[in-house]
Amino acid sequence: MTPSNALVQLTDVQKHFPIHQGFIIRKETGAVKAVDGVTIAIERGKTFGLVGESGCGKTTMAKLILRIETPTAGTITFDGKDVHKLKGSELRAYRETVQVVFQDPYSSLNPRMRIKEIIEEPLRTDPKFTKEQRKARIEELLKVIGLRPGSATRYPHQFSGGQRQRIAIARALAPSPSFIVLDEPVSSLDVSIRAQLMNLLKDLQREFHLTFLLISHDLAGVRYLADTIGVMYLGKIVESGGSPAVYGKPLHPYTHALLSNAMPSHPNAPRTEVILTGEVPSPINIPTGCRFHPRCPKVMPHCSKIEPQLQEAEPGHWVACHLYGDTNGAPTPKETAHATATSTAAGNAR
């Protein structure tokens, strides 16, 4: 889980939003556990695809990396430095090195600013650029994303969704970042435009040696771009590994379900459909044991009692599920007797 060339490293990151109740005397009565102990490493020059249903904490992860939220626990390091302890010139450098492209290109561009002003935004705070250099950079970027130079003086409403998303990408590229968070960059676009945009992203990555964190709920779409996949469920990573491994041989029942519901590459391709029942449980009351057990088609009795830990099922392929390996969810001495009893029972049942 900790390759030496990790650019971004998240270590046991948690983000809990406290819930207050009461009118005058406000008490903390609980917490939304949006991110509940996530450890991932994003390799330099690669794309890390973070996949999960809506509400599983994907976007909160992005916000933590982008410093809009501070983690409740755990650390996020970028190039070995704790992101949330940066100050002064280091912080300014970080803000340029790390950029973001949002999901909705209608909400991410200020409707009252011209395109050139929008792209200039991240450069404004940089004393390295003179006014002329910024202007040259804007023209250069418009060329890179394939918009006419005359577009600079137009307003966002004069462009289509796909063009707007390109503008958002140009803005992200402006300060020459090394890491870009892509928060569902294509999911609000027409299917016909998606491939175009993903190709653009791929080209840009190669050309500028970019590292991507690609957040999406669409497992099939992520496949095209991501080198590494992390599957997230209710604030935790349940499976992670190289893209071929996760797609070729998904281990976690949740990944199975996500993949089986994705469009097949060929209509006649053999597939078994796994339809999950029930709703995603609330991140306020996370189920005991394995957080997926109420919806899991392969649930075993001890799943509701012991939380499985992420473990290396195959080299470089990690999964948090009791179905794999003996060491999984190794019971603490206190629970041993009970846990053994239940697991034997489960074994017999099968």
Q: Give the span between the Cα atoms of 226 and 93, in whole angstroms.
A: 26
Binding piece for other proteins, criterion CB under 8 A, among 92-100, 130-138, 190-198, 324-332:
92-100
Which of 71/122 has CB closer to other proteins? 122
Which of 154/298 has CB closer to other proteins? 154
Which one of residues 81, 143, 157, 271 is an interface residue with other proteins (CB under 8 A)? 157
H/E stretch holding 178 reads: none
> Which residues, 270 to 309, sit near other proteins by CB under 8 A?
none
Backbone phi, then psi, for 124, in 5-degree steps?
-60, -35
Which of 210/246 has CB closer to other proteins? 210
Which one of residues 44, 134, 135, 154 is an interface residue with other proteins (CB under 8 A)? 154
The answer to the question of residue 73 lying near other proteins (CB under 8 A) is: no
Q: Computed over its alpha carbons, how large is the radius of gyration of the chain?
A: 22
The two three-digit tokens of residue 201, written as one number:
């992203």
What's the min distance (Å) between Cβ of 100 and other proteins?
6
Which of 107/199 has CB closer to other proteins? 107
Q: Give the span between the Cα atoms of 48 and 231, in whole angstroms.
A: 11
Return the DSSP state at 281.
P
> Residues touching other proteins: how many (CB under 8 A)?
28
**In Å, how far are 121, 226, 241 from 317, measured between CA atoms?**
40, 15, 4
x/- mask, other proteins, residues 171-200, rule CB under 8 A, reads x-----------------------------
Q: What is the edge-to-edge ordering of all strands in the sheet holding 228-233? A: 98-101, 179-183, 211-216, 47-51, 228-233, 236-242, 317-319, 311-314
Which one of residues 21, 29, 70, 158 is an interface residue with other proteins (CB under 8 A)? 158
x/- mask, other proteins, residues 215-254, rule CB under 8 A, reads ----------------------------------------
What's the min distance (Å) between Cβ of 92 and other proteins?
7
Residue with token string 């970028």: 78
Give residues with Cβ within 8 angstroms of 44, minimum separation 6.
5, 6, 7, 211
CB atoms inside a 10 Å sphere around CB 31: 16
What's the min distance (Å) between Cβ of 200 and other proteins?
19
The answer to the question of residue 85 lying near other proteins (CB under 8 A) is: no
> Which residues, 107 to 126, sit near other proteins by CB under 8 A?
107-113, 118, 121-122, 124-125
Which of 62/321 has CB closer to other proteins? 62
Where does the chain have alpha helices with state H? 58-65, 88-97, 115-124, 131-145, 161-173, 191-208, 219-225, 243-248, 253-261, 336-349
The answer to whether 108 and 188 are in contact (CB under 8 A) is no
How many helices (H) and strands (E) are present in the chain, helices listed first? 10, 12
Which of 182/251 has CB closer to other proteins? 182
The C-alpha angle with vertex 202 and arms to 207 and 34, in degrees rounded to 5, equals: 120
The answer to the question of residue 84 lying near other proteins (CB under 8 A) is: no
x/- mask, other proteins, residues 42-71, rule CB under 8 A, reads ------------------------xxx---
Give contact residues for other proteins (rule: CB under 8 A). 66-68, 91-92, 95, 100, 102-104, 107-113, 118, 121-122, 124-125, 151, 154, 157-159, 171
